[in-house]
Homo-oligomer: A and B are copies of this chain.
Amino acid sequence: MKIVYVLPGPISRNEQGRLEMERRLEILRSYAAPGTQVDIVDVDEGPASIESLYEEYLSIPSTVNLMLEMEEQGYDAAILGCYGDPGLDAIREVTEKMVVVGPGEAGVLAAAMSGYRFSIITVTNSIVNPLYHLVEKAGVGKKLASVRAIETPVLELANDRAKTTQKLVEEGKKAIIEDRADTLVLGCMSMGFLNVAEEMSKELGVPVINPGKISLKMAEAMVGAGVCHSKLAYLTPPKLSSRTVNSSKELLVKKDKIVK
């Protein structure tokens, strides 16, 4: 089985990013079951990190194109490397048989299987409302206790791992006591790659779901079960299905000369 992790930001644009990409690949490979090949790619153009809906949308055009390439290259599954699942539905519209896992969706469905009520602990308040909508869209809004933010930007999470962990534990405790959560989900991929979920789980006594890990395992499960997204749910764009255009790239048109 071949799975690719697709980063919706151009993380490899500098040396530090390339190292982080390798580090993440190693971690992902450590999660994989025997027989699963894991690769990692990033887009050429996109946001530096995603902390707003605007940055989510900025990531989508390049990501969709890269996902199509991955399907052509024969990957069985792709993981969309942002907890907000930006463009997950659009990717499913244009792909045919590659399983596409959104960590947001996968994380909350796993949480739904673990308890009665879960909370998501994410980075910044700017993404709290969008995550409520993500959960509704995933269909498990009834089990959502709360979405909480530690108010630390994505790119600063790893600066002080101990402090970040402490904030996560504190916010998790509030979710358990004030919001009656019995399960937690880390609502950011960079949080996942900090590998703090086990620590938090031990300290708090509840399951804490690492979105990177669960995404990989869900990708393996869906491919293994032979279940891909429904093309009746995620219909191919009409211009493509009717052959009005030849490829998804042609769906974007431009003015020759700008006339405003």
- Chain A residues near B (Cβ < 8 Å): 9-10, 12-13, 18, 31, 33-35, 41, 44-48, 51-58, 60-61, 64, 87, 89-90, 93-94, 105-106, 109-110, 112-117, 124-126, 129-130, 132-133, 136-143, 153, 176, 182-183, 198, 205-207, 209-210, 213-214, 217-218, 220-222, 224-239, 242, 244, 248, 251-256, 258-260
| A233 touching B13, Cβ below 8 Å | no
CB pairs A–B below 8 angstroms (17 shown): A18-B259, A46-B252, A48-B253, A51-B238, A53-B87, A56-B90, A58-B60, A110-B221, A114-B227, A133-B137, A136-B142, A140-B140, A182-B233, A205-B231, A205-B232, A209-B227, A218-B221
| Alpha-carbon distance between A139 and B56 when the two chains are bound, in angstroms | 22
A44 and B258 contact, Cβ closer than 8 Å, known pairs A214-B227, A217-B220, A222-B217: yes
| Alpha-carbon distance between A136 and B232 when the two chains are bound, in angstroms | 20
Interface centre among A90, A93, A238 (most CB of B within 10 A): A238
| Alpha-carbon distance between A129 and B180 when the two chains are bound, in angstroms | 10
Copies of this chain in the oligomer: 6
| Alpha-carbon distance between A116 and B132 when the two chains are bound, in angstroms | 10
Which B residue sits closest to A198, measured CB to CB?
B226
| A112 touching B90, Cβ below 8 Å | no
Instruction: Report chain B residues within 8 Å CB of A218.
Output: 113, 221
CB distance from A75 to the nearest CB of B (A): 15
Instruction: Report chain B residues within 8 Å CB of A222.
Output: 110, 113, 217
A213 and B225 contact, Cβ closer than 8 Å, known pairs A218-B113, A251-B55: yes
CB distance from A56 to the nearest CB of B (A): 8
A113 and B117 contact, Cβ closer than 8 Å, known pairs A58-B252, A61-B61, A182-B230: no
Instruction: Report chain B residues within 8 Å CB of A205.
Output: 231-232
Instruction: Report chain B residues within 8 Å CB of A225.
Output: 31, 110, 209-210, 213-214, 217
Instruction: Report chain B residues within 8 Å CB of A238.
Output: 51-52, 124, 126, 153
| Alpha-carbon distance between A27 and B64 when the two chains are bound, in angstroms | 36
| A206 touching B232, Cβ below 8 Å | yes
| Alpha-carbon distance between A46 and B57 when the two chains are bound, in angstroms | 13
Instruction: Report chain B residues within 8 Å CB of A89.
Output: 53, 130
Contact pick for A253, options B45, B61, B87, B139, CB 8 Å: B45
What 10 pairs across the A-B complex have the smallest Cβ distances? A115-B233, A52-B237, A115-B230, A217-B221, A182-B233, A139-B143, A54-B90, A182-B232, A221-B221, A126-B235
